[in-house]
A and B are shown apart, each in its own frame.
Chain A
Amino acid sequence: MKQEEITDKSRREFLKTAAVATIAATACGSLACSCTSKHPVTDKVKLLSPEGEIVEIDSAYLNHQEHMAILSKLEQRQGIAGKKFVMVVDLSRCKNARKCIAACQKWHYRPEETEWLTVKLLKDSDKAAPYWFPKQCFHCDNPPCVKVCPVDATFKRQDGLVLIDNDRCIGCKFCMAACPYSTRVFNWDEPEMPMDIRNLASNAETNLPAKVGTVEKCDFCPDRSREGLLPPCVEACPNGVFYFGDENEDTVTNGDETVSFSQLIKDRAAYRYMEELGTKPRVYYLPPKERQFPVERGYENLPDKLKERFKDVMEGSPKEK
């Protein structure tokens, strides 16, 4: 047992150094937003294997969790300097492929039913056509959830993100009642996590490891941004629905194309969901105009369990397309 602890500790120490090396390596290529390539500058790093041998591997293969160890609680709360994350969701491209959800859940080790990212089927009025509506956390600039937290467990960072320190959260669920977008989820049971994740120090940037009795939600994956990568949902989308980027740089990318944020929202008449609530979301939607897919495309091939969710909206809709 003791032997194990020692190796474990030295390995972690070593990984820390390795992680610093990775950061240094990626720092020259800028962070996520302006990057179009998914694996920027790579580098060889030396690692101590569990067997005690020194191995040399490509830094791109380093797992993201190792970065968490080097972020202090203060850094987690301050955010990435100079950034102002923003997302644009192109509703005309979404066909409910649900790849974003799968990628998100895998990245955050969430079970199938705990969706941080959901796709809703909305219909604005009786005669209007339904459309698919993917929804992450809106990371509001006037966040109702942050206002009500009694212990400062959920906070707004200077890079625009609203994150949760699940080491501090007391689980009062007030933020869940306050969020008008039903974004937050609660760990009603002891969450199942792989052992190595469970033993990590908690990190607000990844919400890992998940903890029973605490609240969690979409975090916009700043850990990926630090590595120069896009959030998994953005990467996984086959249709380029999500544009993620930095408002300060005025660029957003969906992995295929990088465009000017201000131009995009101007040209496509972007709106923020329920602007009237005054929450000032950081997520913009491009209206579902001139759609690339008929809405049924996202419904027909769904498993029955999922079909059931959208049945009411779907069957009440005129089948003109």
Chain B
Amino acid sequence: MELNKYQQEIFEKQRPTIETFTKKTWAWTIFFLLWILLGGYALYLQIAKGHSVTGMRDNVVWGLYIANFIFFIGISYAGAVISGILHILNVEWRKPIIRIAEMITVVATIIGPVFILLCVGRLDRLHHLFLYPRLQSPITWDVLAIGTYFTGSVIFLYLALIKDFAVYRDAKLNIPKWRQKLYRILAIGYRGTPSQKKHIRVSTNLMAIMIIPLAIIVHSVLSWIFGMTLRPGWHSTIFGPYFVLAAIYSGTGVLIMAMWVYRKIYKLHSYLTDKHFIYLGYIMMVLGAAYGYFTFSEYLTDWFASEKWDSEVIEKIFNPAKYGWWFLFTNVAGILLPILVVAIPKTRKPTPIAIVSFFMVIALWVKRYLIIVPTLESPLLPMQDIRPEYVKYSATWVEWALTFAGIATFFLFFTIISKFVTVIPISEFGDEEKK
């Protein structure tokens, strides 16, 4: 692979990163592995002792796990929608950030479904989903949609990687033999011939077009797991678009955070420039406003009409003694702050934007929790149960341990991938970008 001067420069800059596995990286890797180990122990307990080790019971049948599931599938939208749309619109500045975005997609799409598996009482019977599938069930839709989406995301990421694999293969990197060999295999003989270039371009365009509807389907179907039931707070017609929007929004937040971290650790300031943060900040602001509009519309209608069961859920969410403060937090940190920080020129800088993104992502996680739990705590028939764990959900350490294990897995994947491929794509850049 012939590299032009600009590509050479980017490559040389990142070369040490993928050639060496520093002590610091090892330390982080071990730190994340310890978390995952703890999660593994929690999982062992859950399988060996039954789901009674979780906080879930007959009324609140789902809890943290499903909130995590929605959350991770949500942030996977970073790559799918953001990079897909930017690719189709042929936005030049997307080039340094698409790899990070697409990596988030693939990693989050691996971790997300693990959490729904944790809700499943009989993991030994998962094959029943394929042996006796029922097409009427939104879970079957989910299996199909997420399966297709994951495959699509992997292909999308891989297509963008082939050229770079060829670069690593030809660069005589100071790395072990097996990695050289792996790059050679993964580059599938790419030499940069005009026909190869054309094939990659056409397929990437196709994938970018396909990944957007796929992503929309995935989160709509996911929201319908709730929307299709006869439960107050769930049975809402706007749940599909509401979930999709929240997903793209949180995906943008995670993308900004990841860019900020990579920029700091690997000193990529000349590639991940302030401009990128500001542009993504604009996207985040628009999405935040739209998300705020959906939230307002959803809760206003329920509150105003004040139908009996809806009111029960609304009461729980608005009441400061119950979930009120959390709800306020989701609206302030999840809607107001991101909009304000980007809107005010003084705070429109990478670090403040990254910080509000962080809080916004947490707020959106809390919001998912507030969608799941208060509704399940408000069954149509009065519970009339005095077992506290049946009346009110509170997550046990097992669920928290597995949640943090999931987050640790996310970081671990990122740590390792960034040692295996360059965070900034190399072959994407042409000569004209020298300026």
Query: Complex formed: what's the CA distance from A213 to B51 in Å?
Result: 7
Query: Complex formed: what's the CA distance from A152 to B61 in Å?
Result: 19
Q: Are A188 and B128 in contact (CB under 8 A)?
A: no
Q: Is there a chain B Cβ closer than 8 Å to A171's Cβ? A: yes
Assuming A148-B137, A170-B120, A180-B231, is B126 touching A188 (CB within 8 A)? no
Q: Are B134 and A174 in contact (CB under 8 A)?
A: no
Assuming A214-B122, A308-B386, is B129 touching A180 (CB within 8 A)? no
Assuming A148-B138, A170-B128, A213-B121, is B381 touching A182 (CB within 8 A)? yes
Assuming A150-B143, A151-B128, is B133 touching A178 (CB within 8 A)? no
Tell me the count of chain A residues lying within 8 A, CB to CB, of chain B. Answer: 47
Minimum C-beta distance from A315 to chain B (A): 13
Query: Complex formed: what's the CA distance from A318 to B139 in Å?
Result: 47
Q: Is there a chain B Cβ closer than 8 Å to A265's Cβ? A: no
Which residues in window 133-186 of B have CB below 8 A to A? 133-134, 136-140, 143
Q: Are A212 and B50 in contact (CB under 8 A)?
A: yes
Which residues in window 146-198 of A have CB below 8 A to B? 147-153, 168-174, 176-178, 180-182, 184-190
Q: Are B230 and A171 in contact (CB under 8 A)?
A: no
Query: Complex formed: what's the CA distance from A279 to B380 in Å?
Result: 14
Assuming A185-B58, A189-B52, is B139 touching A174 (CB within 8 A)? yes
Assuming A120-B381, A177-B229, A178-B230, is B137 touching A147 (CB within 8 A)? yes
Q: Is there a chain B Cβ closer than 8 Å to A121's Cβ? A: yes
Q: Are B120 and A188 in contact (CB under 8 A)?
A: no
Which residues in window 321-364 of B have CB below 8 A to A? none
Minimum C-beta distance from B129 to chain A (A): 6
Q: Is there a chain A Cβ closer than 8 Å to B228's Cβ? A: yes
Q: Is there a chain B Cβ closer than 8 Å to A277's Cβ? A: yes
Q: Are A151 and B129 in contact (CB under 8 A)?
A: yes
Q: Look across to chain A and name the residue whose beta carbon is closest to the beta carbon of B125.
A: A170
Q: Is there a chain A Cβ closer than 8 Å to B132's Cβ? A: yes
Q: Which among A149, A279, A313 has the highest number of chain B CB atoms within 10 Å? A: A149
Q: Are A148 and B119 in contact (CB under 8 A)?
A: no
A-contact 0/1 string along B97-120, CB 8 Å cutoff:
000000000000000000000011
Q: Is there a chain A Cβ closer than 8 Å to B382's Cβ? A: yes
Taking residues whose C-beta sits less than 8 angstroms from the other chain, chain B's interface range is 35 or more
Which residues in window 59-111 of B have CB below 8 A to A? 59, 61-62
Q: Is there a chain B Cβ closer than 8 Å to A289's Cβ? A: no
Q: Is there a chain A Cβ closer than 8 Å to B431's Cβ? A: no
Query: Complex formed: what's the CA distance from A190 to B51 in Å?
Result: 10
Q: Which residues of A contact B57 (CB under 8 A)?
A: 186, 188
Q: Are B121 and A144 in contact (CB under 8 A)?
A: no
Minimum C-beta distance from A97 to chain B (A): 17
Q: Which residues of B contact A171 (CB under 8 A)?
A: 51, 120-122, 125
Q: Is there a chain A Cβ closer than 8 Å to B40's Cβ? A: no
Q: Which of A122, A150, A168, A190 contacts B139 (CB 8 A)?
A: A150
Assuming A113-B387, A150-B134, is B62 touching A188 (CB within 8 A)? no
Q: Which of A151, A177, A188, A310 contacts B376 (CB 8 A)?
A: A177
Q: Are B381 and A181 in contact (CB under 8 A)?
A: yes
Query: Complex formed: what's the CA distance from A152 to B137 in Å?
Result: 9
Q: Which of A149, A188, A305 contacts B134 (CB 8 A)?
A: A149
Q: Which residues of A contact B128 (CB under 8 A)?
A: 151, 153, 168, 170
Q: Which residues of A contact B136 (CB under 8 A)?
A: 147-148
Not counting A150-B133, A171-B122, A182-B381, a sample of 6 additional A-B residue pairs whose C-beta atoms are within 8 angstroms of each other reads A150-B139, A151-B132, A174-B139, A188-B51, A274-B380, A277-B230
Give the A-binding residues of B (Cβ under 8 A): 49-52, 56-59, 61-62, 119-122, 125-126, 128-129, 131-134, 136-140, 143, 225-226, 228-231, 376, 379-387
Would you list 19 pairs from A and B whose C-beta atoms are within 8 A, ordered by A residue?
A144-B230, A147-B136, A147-B137, A150-B133, A152-B134, A153-B132, A168-B132, A171-B122, A174-B137, A177-B61, A182-B380, A182-B381, A186-B58, A186-B121, A188-B56, A189-B52, A212-B121, A213-B120, A313-B384
Give the B-binding residues of A (Cβ under 8 A): 113, 118, 120-122, 135, 144, 147-153, 168-174, 176-178, 180-182, 184-190, 211-215, 274, 277, 279, 305, 308-310, 313
